[in-house]
Amino acid sequence: MVFREVVTDKDIDEVVKIARPIWLEHYSPIIGAEQVEYMLENLHSKKNIKEEIAEKGYLYFLIEEAEAIGYIGLQIREEELFLSKIYVASAARGQGVGRLAMDYIKSLARECDLRKVSLTVNRNNANSIAAYRKLGFAKISDVCFDIGGGYVMDDYLMELEF
Ligand SMILES: CC(C)(COP(=O)(O)OP(=O)(O)OC[C@H]1O[C@@H](n2cnc3c(N)ncnc32)[C@H](O)[C@@H]1OP(=O)(O)O)[C@@H](O)C(=O)NCCC(=O)NCCS
């Protein structure tokens, strides 16, 4: 498995392409089809990912085996690595990809002298919360984000110190 940095427009197209089935399948039961569409058209769009990389210092990586099986988006902050996105295709879940991805993310943090990874996760995303706990994350607080379009994200802030 490799973690290939997203650099070109074509790479971003690949991220956008694998985001859609993951989001439709995983999040429709959690937040509803309409909000999923809104998230895909905004937060997971080519335009937004491009802006995050070019203007906000985000790094994206495709998780690849024979083909792309997931992706990661993160931002190096002053005191922590913020893990904005980690998505593994449903057929590849539960087989250790997430743990390997987290090892890679921690290695990136270490390179920047950081020892903390933070993320936010939907409060009803029970499977992923369970996986994060297994990976050593602890819930820090409840957070709520207004993401426009009349939608809010009711999340937990979770952190891993290592
Ligand atoms: C969350 C996610 C990235 C984890 O990736 P994954 O490849 O399934 O994770 P792994 O198979 O490496 O599992 C990591 C650990 O969590 C555990 N785990 C995974 N799913 C679990 C579940 N539903 N319940 C309990 N433990 C779980 C595994 O047993 C493993 O622990 P171990 O290494 O001690 O055995 C992946 O499931 C995913 O993409 N989910 C859907 C999208 C999503 O919600 N992303 C997060 C957005 S905030």
In this structure, are residues 131 and 88 in contact, taking their beta carbons and an 8 Å threshold? no
The superfamily CATH assigns to domain 2-161 is Gcn5-related N-acetyltransferase (GNAT) (3.40.630.30)
Q: Domain coordinates of the chain in residue numbers? A: 2-161
Residue 93 C-alpha to ligand 1 middle, in angstroms? 7
pLDDT in tens, 140-156: 999 999 999 999 999 99
CA–CA separation, 7 and 143 (whole Å): 31
Give, using CA atoms, the residue closest to atom 4 of ligand 1. Answer: 98
pLDDT in tens, 24-40: 999 999 999 999 999 99
Give, using CA atoms, the residue closest to atom 44 of ligand 1. Answer: 128
Report in angstroms the alpha-carbon separations of 25 from 86, 89, 117: 15, 10, 26
pTM above 0.85, yes or no: yes
